[in-house]
């Protein structure tokens, strides 16, 4: 998530605060640069024929993690259904990792070649459409390390205060293929997954899904077997290796969900106090977005050596057991809750439950995730608190690049997707001016797209149908262009009367968003500007009393006043 630009000595700290919301990845340093795309970007981001020819159904990841050597070895079995009669497949594994072999359905090892981080496997015969295959990939290597997790992708190898190994991974944006071979594209989630992680004696692993068993191997190392029974996006697949204390509880709402917490032993008392925020959060999010999407797999909050990440059913937590973002917030309401718990858990609904099919549409994760924070504030503290919280984000917005990224090249849009995206959704609610419709829209949209990968057009189309109004122009302006729509107002005071001329100036030619302004002292009413000038009579109102309803509408304003002699 991003946070506002604030003057004074807090700038450096709050620039980090504004950058985080789920993850900002390395995009933080690229936000205002003109992107230059390469062949590597195309191989990573495009759905080429070598990818579209097969549909992943199941992953069976079996890895041995050696913290002392910072080394991983193991295999991943990809069960897939052939969609086309192709003789070549693309899988993804970073070039610094070694793919040792590729075997299809127990046959002979297949020939493969590399191009950057993509591996192309030559099949002995074309795939038969509709047929299910098992491709076993054996691999090993020292994965890329994260220099500044979670913003840059990689493994995190560190130790706890007692000197025990403490290992985690953060790879959103960079790619899960930095540490395991897979079809590394958001559009193709497996229907389910097995995760087996073998760790040194005395350590344990917490991964996604439900623990099915722990096996002690002849050499004393232990294998933890986890089962994910829902679709999962690749960057959410995780390991959390260390020595943990565990406690848990149960949330009983529309569904009964197990809540399990894993923290370092020295932080157990702090966690028992701080994690009491989880159940009220569940009640709010269930009310607004529907039941928790991963009931069979449960919910886990796992202390991590980095700030946090929305790993499905195993949310990484590193906020130091403080409210706000590391104890800070741009709004006093932000100090009433733990930012990482509330924001990262929101991604269970928006990001994990509903997933963008191209990273260019990452706003679907982050704008809804950021706005979930505001909705949580409203749920707990009321509407006015929500408005104060969401509007405090205005100073965080840069308006330098569009929220949408470039498609097919693994490119995220501007980090404005966090604060500006939340303000955009608040503006949409202001335009609708119907809270019953708004809350139904949010919940039904979450439920409609659950377990699916979608694009911006899917969201826009749904909103249009549900509201009976075409809001394409609205989303186009806020998502596809950097600038805000500008309301130009010219007030003419003459002889005790006041005339008002107004219009929109926007990148979208037919922009025509309704907006509330003061049409009489202390009273807001809707006007319906277009990109053509319109005029209205404001009676005897003082020009100084004219304002836009900035609590609900995130727009640029240009208000000019002219006083004319009555004669």
Give the start-to-end residue ranges of the domains of the chain: 11-38+348-480, 48-317, 486-564
Q: Taking phi first (over 0 means left), then psi (-120 to 50 degrees means alpha), and beta for anything else, what does residue 440 get?
A: alpha
- pLDDT in the model for residue 209: 98
Nearest to 245 by CA among 223, 267, 224: 267
The domain 486-564 having CATH identifier 1.25.40: the answer here is: no
Residues in the chain: 567
pLDDT digits (tens, 9 = 90+) for 303-342: 999 999 999 999 999 999 999 999 999 999 999 999 999 9
Residue 136's beta-bridge partner residues? Answer: 77, 103
Give the CATH architecture of domain 48-317: Sandwich (2.60)
- pLDDT in the model for residue 565: 86
pLDDT digits (tens, 9 = 90+) for 4-50: 333 333 333 333 334 333 333 333 333 455 678 999 999 999 999 99
Q: Taking phi first (over 0 means left), then psi (-120 to 50 degrees means alpha), and beta for anything else, what does residue 213 get?
A: left
Nearest to 377 by CA among 349, 432, 338, 431: 338
CATH superfamily, domain at 11-38+348-480: Neutral Protease Domain 2 (1.10.390.10)
Give the span between the Cα atoms of 16 and 14, in whole angstroms: 5
- pLDDT in the model for residue 2: 33
- pLDDT in the model for residue 355: 98
- pLDDT in the model for residue 456: 98
- pLDDT in the model for residue 450: 98
- pLDDT in the model for residue 13: 35
Which residues, given as ranges, of the chain have pLDDT below 70? 1-34, 567
How would you list the strands of the sheet with 210-216, edge to edge?
Answer: 98-104, 132-141, 71-82, 54-66, 192-199, 222-228, 210-216
pLDDT digits (tens, 9 = 90+) for 128-170: 999 999 999 999 999 999 999 999 999 999 999 999 999 999 9
- pLDDT in the model for residue 231: 98
pTM: 0.93
Strands 486-494 and 556-564: parallel
Residue 54, helix vs strand vs coil: strand
Nearest to 547 by CA among 505, 504, 518: 518
Side-chain half-sphere of 284: how many Cα atoms within 13 Å?
A: 21
Nearest to 200 by CA among 224, 218, 221, 179: 221
Side-chain half-sphere of 403: how many Cα atoms within 13 Å?
A: 28
Query: Is it true that 48-317 and 486-564 share their CATH fold?
Result: yes
- pLDDT in the model for residue 453: 98
Q: What are phi and psi of 301, to 5 degrees?
A: -120, 120
């Amino acid at each position: 998530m991003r946070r506002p630009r604030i003057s004074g000595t807090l700038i450096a700290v709050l620039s980090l605060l504004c950058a985080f919301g789920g993850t900002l990845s390395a995009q933080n340093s690229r936000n205002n640069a003109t992107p230059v795309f390469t062949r590597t970007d195309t191989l990573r981001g495009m759905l080429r024929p070598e990818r579209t020819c097969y549909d992943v159904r199941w992953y069976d990841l079996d890895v041995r993690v050696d913290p002392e050597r910072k080394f991983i070895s193991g295999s991943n079995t990809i069960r897939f259904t052939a969609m086309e009669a192709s003789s070549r497949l693309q899988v993804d594994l970073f070039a610094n990792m070694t793919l040792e072999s590729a075997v299809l359905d127990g046959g002979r090892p297949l020939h493969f070649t590399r191009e950057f981080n993509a591996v192309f496997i030559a099949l002995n015969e074309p795939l038969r459409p509709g047929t299910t295959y098992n491709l076993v990939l054996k691999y090993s290597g020292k994965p890329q390390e994260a220099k500044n997790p979670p913003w840059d992708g990689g493994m995190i190898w560190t130790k706890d205060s007692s000197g025990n190994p403490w290992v985690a991974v953060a790879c959103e944006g960079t790619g899960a293929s930095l540490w395991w071979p897979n079809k590394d594209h958001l559009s193709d989630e497996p229907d389910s997954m097995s995760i087996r992680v073998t760790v040194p004696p005395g350590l344990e692993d917490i991964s996604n899904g439900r623990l099915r068993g722990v096996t002690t191997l002849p050499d004393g190392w232990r294998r933890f077997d986890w089962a994910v029974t829902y679709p999962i996006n690749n960057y959410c697949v995780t390991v959390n290796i260390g020595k943990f204390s565990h406690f848990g509880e149960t949330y009983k709402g529309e569904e009964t969900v197990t809540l399990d917490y894993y923290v370092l032993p020295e932080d157990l008392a702090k966690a028992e106090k701080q994690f009491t925020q989880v159940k009220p959060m569940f009640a709010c999010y269930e009310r607004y977005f529907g039941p928790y999407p991963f009931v069979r797999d449960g919910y886990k909050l796992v202390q991590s050596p980095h700030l946090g990440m929305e790993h499905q059913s195993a949310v990484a937590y590193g906020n130091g057991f403080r409210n706000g973002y590391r104890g800070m917030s741009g709004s006093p309401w932000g100090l009433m809750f733990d930012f990482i718990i509330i924001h990262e858990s929101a991604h269970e609904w928006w990001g994990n439950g509903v997933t963008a099919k191209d990273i260019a549409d990452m706003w679907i994760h982050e704008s809804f995730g950021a706005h979930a924070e505001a909705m949580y504030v409203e749920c707990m503290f009321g509407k006015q608190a929500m408005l104060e919280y969401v509007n405090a984000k205005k100073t965080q917005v840069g308006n330098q690049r569009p929220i949408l990224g470039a498609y097919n090249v693994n490119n995220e849009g501007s980090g404005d997707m966090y604060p500006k995206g939340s303000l955009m959704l608040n503006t949409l609610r202001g335009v609708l001016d119907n809270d019953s419709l708004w809350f139904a829209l949010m919940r039904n949209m979450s439920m409609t797209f659950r377990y699916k990968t979608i694009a911006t057009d899917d969201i826009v189309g749904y909103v249009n149908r549900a509201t009976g109004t075409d809001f394409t122009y609205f989303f186009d302006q806020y998502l596809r262009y950097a600038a805000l729509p500008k309301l130009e107002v010219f007030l003419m005071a003459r002889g005790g009367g006041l005339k008002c001329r107004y219009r929109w100036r926007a990148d979208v030619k037919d922009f025509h968003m309704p907006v509330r302004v003061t049409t009489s002292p202390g009273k807001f009413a809707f006007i319906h500007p277009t990109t053509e000038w319109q005029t209205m009579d404001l009676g005897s109102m003082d020009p100084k009393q004219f304002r836009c309803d900035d609590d609900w509408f995130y727009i640029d304003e240009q208000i000019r006043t002219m006083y004319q002699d009555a004669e």
